[in-house]
A and B are shown apart, each in its own frame.
Chain A
Amino acid sequence: MKMLKTTLLCSAIALAALPTLGFAQDTTVNMINPLPRSTNFFPLVVGEALGYFADEGITVNLLPSDTSIPYVAFIQNGQADLSMLDPVETVNAINAGAKINTVYEVMQNAPEAIGVLDSSKYDSVDDLVGTTVGLVSDRDRAFLQAALDVVGKSIDDVQTVVLGESGPTLAAAIRDGNVSAISGAAPDWIALNANGINVRLITPEELLASPANTFAANAETLEEKRPAMEGFLRAWSKGMYVASVNPEAVAQMLRKGVPEEWENEAAGQLFLDMSIGMNVSTTERLGDLQTGVWTALQPRLLSSGAIEKEVDVSTFLNDTYIAAANDFDRAAVEADAAAWLAANK
């Protein structure tokens, strides 16, 4: 009996101690996104290399997760402070009653695209009718729907197959003609092109200027973490700004920060060039929310069936942090980047 009691007590202590391992501090910003530190989201790596997050007193807790994880649920239950969502996910979440606000546009040029083999006969999305199109993840179905809708077709006009994120599977599928096209994102094309499988993008122009991976936060707790969130977004903006003035420094920071993506220098540089195009804001204020773009986007998403109904953008686009995110000395950031590069060449 004594042994049983001891055993039960030890088990209870062990189980009680486990959750403490995952607890984070108040100044921690928990961010859920699909990738670990990556060239694709270089502002984070740059901000960390130049110490901008630390200067703001913030620890970034990255929660990169498979897309099978319900990102919105983690904002709602407080496990994540910021989540990278696509417009379709954002609108669908709001339609489902989630109280979230979009607070910052990480990418203003969508990384999503429809790619075909360069040597293939397909010149537009219209040509894909009756063929099998590969999806990198189930998330890409909505983008394909929207692309088909632009040319007056629907998702039912093509067959789809989810190929997964594994590079070899994607490469073999498109190279061997098992799929006519792939609906995916920038990192997928870069990997294929860098490995001699040349891909041509046939994305309809109407879909090119679309926000993507926007930061969404819980609408009810925007004030609670205001200092940390503002600091986080300011550090992110600084990282983004460095790429527009000193891309060489950014490349060097990435070589050191994510060497696994730079083992092939040409592929790394290609990845960075594409990522700069997607990440650096086209709006005057970095990360600003483009009300007009979000409004114009929704009818297309609705007619393609990607969303159930349109949502008034004023109910979820909230620029409460944008001014603070842009409140930094550009010249000082330029000097920091130049000094870092000089010291780390």
Chain B
Amino acid sequence: MAEAAQSGPTKASAGPSRSLRNRRLMTHAGIFLTLIIAWELASRAGWLDPLFYPRPSNILNSFWLIYFKNGNVWEHLGVTMSLVFMGFVGGSILGIVLGSLVGLNGLVRRFLKPYVIVLEATPRIAVAPLLIAALGFGATSKIAIIMLVCFFAPFINTLSGVMNVNAEKLELFRSLGASKWQILRKLVLPDAVPIIMAGERLALTAALSGALVAEFIQRDQGIGSLILVYTRNLNMASSFACIFTLTILGFLIFRGMELVDQYIAFWKYEAGRERVSAKRRRAMRS
């Protein structure tokens, strides 16, 4: 009964909220379509330089060519996404582990933090050719470039999350005799996870840019090398099709990370809290 009373208002509010979302979606779709039609008309009227702005209808045709007729984009897309995934995982693990170490241990912080900050200030695109020279060609150096690009957001966010623990709560934990492990598990991590997840969202989108930088330098495979081929041949419609592919992927990745965030740092979100409460209630009943 109590559960029904709690879920009642939520269900009742779901209708208007869905309708609001649909209205917003329609508005965005309308704006998008208007822009595309304006672009197409301006291109046909000769107001836009075709060297820089190919017609949307040509871009659409290129989507058909590269995805279905020739199907040549799939292999490149697979390579890029594999690199993005491996670089992101590697960079994130490194960032979170080092961020935690630096945040939790004063000695490590004193020695490591200045170097990490200096590395952060170094332009990573300039370092990329050096990394390739040092690590050699192939996936290893590309992954290293992506790791370098997406290492800092998790590192900095983990560091701030770990170091900005609520002082009063910490005092309370200590006065109650909590062990270091308990403090980490019950206080530091829950406080830090939402900030770490924000860093992860930034890292994953940055990983896509890192992969492109790596593929612009090592041009064997990947969507970056395909874009280079198309732009060199002045095939701007196909080049735009690849760029829009990356835009869509970047958007999906970002939204995907938001969902992962809602699942991991569930206590930040009302829906997450309700989901976990319901699960716990069910577990208690059974």
Contact = CB atoms under 8 A, between A and B. Distances in A.
B123 to A, nearest CB: 14
B interface secondary structure, majority: helix
Contacts of A80: 137
Given A36-B219, A36-B225, A64-B218, A165 B232 contact: yes
A249 to B, nearest CB: 19
A273 to B, nearest CB: 15
B209 interface: no
B217 A22 contact: no
B197 interface: no
Interface stretch (A48-56, A257-265, A280-288): A257-265
B8 interface: no
27 contacts: A11-B93, A11-B94, A14-B93, A18-B90, A22-B137, A22-B140, A36-B220, A36-B221, A61-B137, A62-B220, A63-B218, A64-B218, A65-B137, A65-B217, A73-B133, A79-B136, A165-B228, A166-B232, A167-B51, A167-B235, A168-B52, A171-B234, A260-B233, A260-B235, A261-B233, A263-B65, A263-B70
**Chain B: number of interface residues, binned into ranges:** 35 or more
A25 interface: no
A292 interface: no
A167 B234 contact: yes
B143 interface: yes
Give the most central of B51, B97, B101, B232: most A CB within 10 Å: B232
Which among B93, B137, B228 has the greatest number of chain A C-beta atoms within 10 A? B137
Interface string B220-239: 11000110111111111010
A21 interface: yes
Given A36-B229, A66-B219, A69-B129, A168 B136 contact: no
B234 A65 contact: no
Interface size class of A (residues with CB under 8 A): 35 or more
Contacts of A34: 219
Interface of B: 49, 51-52, 62, 65-66, 70, 72, 90, 93-94, 97, 101, 129, 132-133, 135-141, 143-144, 216-221, 225-226, 228-236, 238
Interface of A: 4, 7, 10-11, 14, 18-19, 21-22, 24, 30, 32, 34-36, 38, 61-66, 68-70, 73-74, 79-80, 165-168, 171-172, 175, 187-188, 190-192, 194-195, 259-261, 263-264, 267
A267 B237 CA distance: 15
B217 A167 contact: no
Contacts of A11: 93-94, 97
Contacts of B129: 66, 68-69
A172 B219 contact: no
B12 to A, nearest CB: 46
A35 B219 contact: yes
A64 B220 contact: yes
A239 B265 CA distance: 58
